[in-house]
Structure 1
Amino acid sequence: MDRAFENHASFIGRPASELPTPSLIVDLPVLKKNVNTLHENVEKLGIGFRPHVKTLKTLEITRLMLAGGKYRSIIASTICEIRGCIPLVKEGLLDEVSPPRIPAASYQILYGLPIYPGALQDLVKLRESVRIQLLVDNEEHIDVLEKSGTQPWDVFIKLDVGSRRAGIPANSTALQKLVERADRSSAVKIAGFYCHAGHSYAGRSLDEAQATLETEISSVLNAAALLPPDRALTVSIGATPTAHVVQYLKTNIPSNVKFELHAGNFPCNDLQQVSTGLVAETDQAIRVAAEVCGVYPERNEALVNAGVVALSREGSGYSGFGRVIGKPAWEVVRLSQEHGIIGTNGDERATENFKIGQRVNLYCNHSCITAAAFYVYFGVDENDIVREAWIPWKGW
């Protein structure tokens, strides 16, 4: 069992420097600032907000993103995440199944993958406790739901606006056929249209993020126009980079359409987000604490105990797989399973910067993937004292 997990409560009140390595450390003031900034932008625009719980998969962070119940819907990428959020129903932060059904505007948990038969049994059971919406992007999804014999489902039709992941191409004849097919099916009720601009992570400027945001908005509104203008619908757009520029939203929203933003990475940020030019290095709320295991003067490198399993092989606009905080010339240049190799392209010497047993803190390229490796998240205050120890949901 993970050492940090076994004794996590014992570290509360102690300096982060006493945590075992590798550990995932969350800077609480930065995280709360990031969440508050997005909430303020959403509130100024008067639009809805649906957080994605895939990054720091915990009740504590989900409560924070929901602003104590001000926002009452989420996206979950796994069945495990939905199960993990059930206590929020009992707390009154998510709606249970008993209130009157309001199909297009109801507050629900959206399962973030296009529906497939293997997930239906679990989702049917979970729907006894909480309202659940599904994603569809193919007429075969309607067939699956019709054959299942379950009660009708509220569905979002997912659009592909450039990510080339899930979704049906926006403005395609296939989209129109899917809308018509879903609209006449007794197995589904179209709640609205959804797109996720995952490709916005590759942007490198404010202008690029704004252009992607405009594409998202025009795509979901054009799709909504395929249905009668008196039909109540929700359109959901977002990704953390476009969420960072949502304050520039200027589109007029039709009166029958409820507009919402979704995002998940925004409380944490990471080197991918810094690469977009939309957030500062100091807006990163998580880091990985590691320890130097070896120093190699002949190749001017050091070894730390955080490799692929702790950091992932995700890339960013920066070279390498992570950067050493406080030592900007040094980065993680190579990885194996449990080994991270620290190197530099500069003139500094490893022997002058690193000693065996020295602790180093690393910024990661993608906080969502990095966080998935850890069994406990340690929240620290402005003095780097551990104040929280959160246990994330694990599994699919």
Structure 2
Amino acid sequence: MASIVPSQEDLQQCYIGKDISDVPKPAAVLDVAIIRRHCETMLRTIKTLDVGFRVHVKSHKTPEIAKLQIGDGTEANFIASTVLEIEMMIPLLQELKQKGRKINILYGIPLVPSQVPLLARAARELGENSITVMIDHPDQLPYLAKLSSLAGHPTCVFVKVDTGYHRAGLPPVSLNKHGLLEKLASAEEKGGARLLGLYSHSSLSYSGTTPEQAMGHLISEIRGCKDALERNLQLLPKRALVISVGATPQVVSSQNLLRDDSLCLEARELKALLRGTNVELHAGVYPILDMQQFSTHASADSGFLEDEIAISVLAEVCSVYNNGEREKPEALLAAGTLALGREPCPSYSGWGVVSSWRIDGLGKDSSERLVVERISQEHAIVTWESESQTKIPLHIGQVVKVHPNHACVTGAFYGWYFVVDSDQDSQSSRIVDVWVRARGCGMRAW
């Protein structure tokens, strides 16, 4: 029986050159021009600050964006949240390795037994020092030993530090929980592990609204990991260990250090910390952004949201209520929780912001904006963010773009992205490529 899932080649042949309004909807769209710009800015920042960099692929799950994230440097360090993402990345990682680049990909949650055989298979394909795992409990070490045995070489390890987010990891004062560090040292002596350093991820910065707050969170992470290192020096290998820290707001905030007017207290302290610490920054959603990330205002150079957020969801207007049927004018979209996600954003109470794209009377700098106020599985109610009684400037059958609150969750509904390029097409409407996403938890689990 023929597969019901089209190949990337079939999708490209069918859609490249078409207008995005002509594709089946709801659909996910990416503007590669915005993605390129964000990736180039980040790579320039990392080079100027002379720090390490590790890019997360969980937001987009595509090798095309992963390639833009790592640029042309000598190292190519990645993070994945699922083994599927690692499997998706194997051809790109092999290509990079053949070009002489040092590759490494971190499985970004503490090691669990079901993933060990799959990670070992990836490690055998990619070679030594290619796969890293995360440890925060001594009971995970038998899984680490099995992984190294199946792979045929030591597995790289980060010890996860909890610097205040309380999702995973150990606080600095408890890093040697039940002798974890001593047991890890023993595993390294036996050739079953190689400790890279300490790793912290904190999304506390998502609630911030200024560059100073984002920089403050990054400072706290670095301090927390330094504290953990200093408290346990006698138990750690006598070599330089990496402190890997970040999330998109923190890492984007480091771009402020390149500004001539970046003289605030947080900027000065962050510069000093980065100079005196073996830091690796890590981030994932920064190439795409979303309403959550945009609302943090982590970069002082941030522009209008339509110029900064690369992802949007195409949806059709299926009804309009402009004639007093309701307390205020509204429109109904044929896209709901599954198509948009249902993640809140601190800066407003809605579930997505409607782009001004092809809407008469609206511009990206308009003081009024349309938002998704209510949402159900397959429907969304759009209205003015204010209490305006102005008629909604939409008509039945019209196609709109909605910028979602959380790109990672929104993307999970879609098998592929339609790609546009606003550098070539100011209307951002002509499809230039189709990128297929990795979906699910494992591709090669047989």
TM-score (norm 2): 0.80
Quote the residue 1:214 is aligned against.
219
Which of 85, 90, 94 is residue 86 of structure 1 equivalent to?
90
Q: Does 1:13 align with 2:33?
A: no
Q: Deviations over 1:117-151 (max 9, x none)?
A: 11111111111112201000111112433466725
- Alpha-carbon displacement from aligned partner over 1:321-354 (angstroms, at most 9, x marks no partner): 001112543211111111111123422444x412
CA distance in structure 2 between the aligned counterparts of 1:178 and 1:251, rounded to whole angstroms: 31
CA gap 1:109/1:202 in 2 versus in 1, 3 angstroms = same
Count of matched residue positions in the alignment of Structure 1 and Structure 2: 386
Structure 1 gaps of 5+ residues are 100-105
Q: Does 1:347 align with 2:388?
A: yes
Amino acid at match of 1:307: G
C-alpha distance 139-71 of structure 1, shift in aligned 2 (>3 A): same
Q: Residue by residue, what CA displacement relative to the aligned partner does 1:268-321 show, whole Å, maximum 9, x if unpaired?
A: 111111211224412111111111011234122211111111111011122110
Look up the match of 1:135. 134
CA RMSD of aligned residues (A): 2.5
- The aligned counterpart of 1:164 is 166
CA distance in 2, matches of 1:381, 1:108: 30
Question: Offset of 1:18 from its aligned partner?
Answer: 2.4
Cα–Cα, structure 1 residues 95 and 319, in superposed 2: closer, same or farther, change >3 Å? farther
Q: CA deviation at 1:175?
A: 5.2
Shift of 1:2: 7.5
Residue matched to 1:243: 251
1:108 aligns with 2:148: no
- How far 1:93 sits from its partner (Å)? 4.8
Query: Which residue of structure 2 lines up, in the alignment, with residue 267 of structure 1?
Result: 287
Aligned runs of 1:10-159 on 2, under 5 Å? Answer: 10-68=14-72, 70-93=74-97, 107-130=103-126, 131-146=130-145, 150=149, 151-159=153-161
Match of 2:339 in 1: 310
- Between stretches 53-62 and 377-386, larger displacement belongs to 377-386
Q: How does 1:385-396 map to 2 (within 5 A)?
A: 385-396=430-441
State the partner residue of 1:203: 208
CA distance in 2, matches of 1:240, 1:354: 34
1:360 maps to which of 400, 403, 406: 400
**Structure 1 residue 222: Cα displacement:** 2.3
Paired with 2:146 and 2:88, the residues of 1 have a C-alpha distance of 29
Which piece of structure 1 moves more, 33-42 or 1-10? 1-10
| Aligned match of 1:193 | 198
Distance 1:129 1:73 in 2: 17
Moved more, 331-340 or 217-226: 217-226
The structural deviation recorded for 1:95 is 8.9
Give yes or no for contact 1:4–1:376 (8 Å, CA) kept in 2: no
C-alpha distance in 2 between matches for 1:54 and 1:120: 19
Amino acid at match of 1:164: H
Query: How far is the alpha carbon of 1:79 from its aligned partner?
Result: 0.5
**Given the alignment of the two structures, is residue 369 of structure 1 paired with residue 417 of structure 2, yes or no?**
no
SS at match of 1:171: helix
Please state how far the C-alpha of 1:68 moved relative to its aligned partner.
3.8
Shift of 1:208: 1.4
Q: Give, in whole Å, the separation in 1 of the partners of 2:99 and 2:225.
A: 25
- Give 5+ residue unaligned stretches, structure 2: 258-266, 357-361, 363-367, 442-446
Query: Separation in 1 of the partners of 2:275 and 2:146?
Result: 35
265, 276, 283: which is aligned to 2:308?
A: 283
Determine the structure 2 residue equivalent to 1:227: 233
Letter in 2 for 1:335: I
Take 2:249 and 2:180, find their aligned partners in 1: how far apart are those partners?
A: 29
CA contact (8 A) 1:72 1:95 kept: no
Q: Once the two structures are superposed, what CA deviation does each residue of 1:214-249 show, in whole Å capped at 9, x if it has no partner?
A: 111112222233235841312211100001112343
What is the match of residue 318 of structure 2?
Answer: 293
Give the TM-score normalised by structure 1: 0.90
Partner SS state of residue 233, structure 2: coil
Kept in 1: contact 2:12–2:433 (CA 8 A): no
Corresponding position of 1:103 = none
* Displacement of 1:94: 7.9
What is the aligned-residue identity percentage? 35
Residue 271 of structure 2: SS of its match in structure 1? coil
- Aligned letter for 2:162? D
Q: For 1:370, give the aligned amino acid.
A: T
